[in-house]
Structure 1
Amino acid sequence: MPRLESVPWVPRGLNRDEAAYYIGVGTTKFDEMVRDGRMPRGKRVDGRVIWDRVQLDLHFSELDNRPRNVIDEALQGGRAAR
């Protein structure tokens, strides 16, 4: 599959690598963000997991607006989004 920068339009469904690249992080950080709810869970389609670009945009727009959850931060050893 071509990299996103070589496609003249961005597909609506993105695999994990593309979704991470789309929001500007590596796959490890993307996985963390999915686990803690900062990014949406992907949709399972047969044997694949696909992220909806629109949902990624919505979650990305809310990154700065989400209130800190001190309980979650304490449980995760202070690693929650700040």
Structure 2
Amino acid sequence: MASQIENVITPRGLQLAQAARYIGIGVTKFCQLVADERMPKARRIDGRKVWDIRELDDAFDALPHDEEQDESENPWDNVIA
């Protein structure tokens, strides 16, 4: 019975590797996105870092689509001199 319940419940909080996998990227890139605030910071549960799946969804939704300019990009970086 317990294993059936565990298969149905989606965790609200994800560990680092799970959060990166949820977004579809590696841990190193995920940490970069957290550092530059494109992904949320972790929450603390005692000594554990846990990422809120709802905050990850919001941050992912805020990422630019392909072909859209990221506000952090400088359009002049792509100009050939």
- TM (normalized to structure 1)? 0.70
Q: CA deviation at 1:68?
A: 1.2
Aligned mates of 1:47, 1:59 — CA distance in 2: 24
Structure 2 gaps of 5+ residues are 1-6
- Corresponding position of 2:39: 39
Find the partner of 1:68 among 61, 68, 71: 71
The question of 1:55 aligning with 2:51 is answered: no
Would you say how many aligned residue pairs link Structure 1 and Structure 2?
Answer: 66
Structure 1 gaps of 5+ residues are 1-6, 72-77
Aligned mates of 2:73, 2:24 — CA distance in 1: 26
Counterpart secondary structure, 1:59:
helix
- Corresponding position of 1:26: 26
Question: CA-to-partner distance for each residue in 1:8-44, whole Å, 9 max, x for gaps?
Answer: 4431000000000000000000000000011000001
Identity over aligned pairs, percent: 42
Aligned mates of 2:31, 2:11 — CA distance in 1: 20
Question: CA-to-partner distance for each residue in 1:35-68, whole Å, 9 max, x for gaps?
Answer: 0011000001101000000000000000017851
- TM (normalized to structure 2)? 0.71
Q: Is the radius of gyration larger for structure 1 or structure 2?
A: 2
Q: Which runs of 4+ in 1 moved over 3 A?
A: none
Which has a greater percent of helix?
2
Aligned mates of 2:40, 2:33 — CA distance in 1: 8
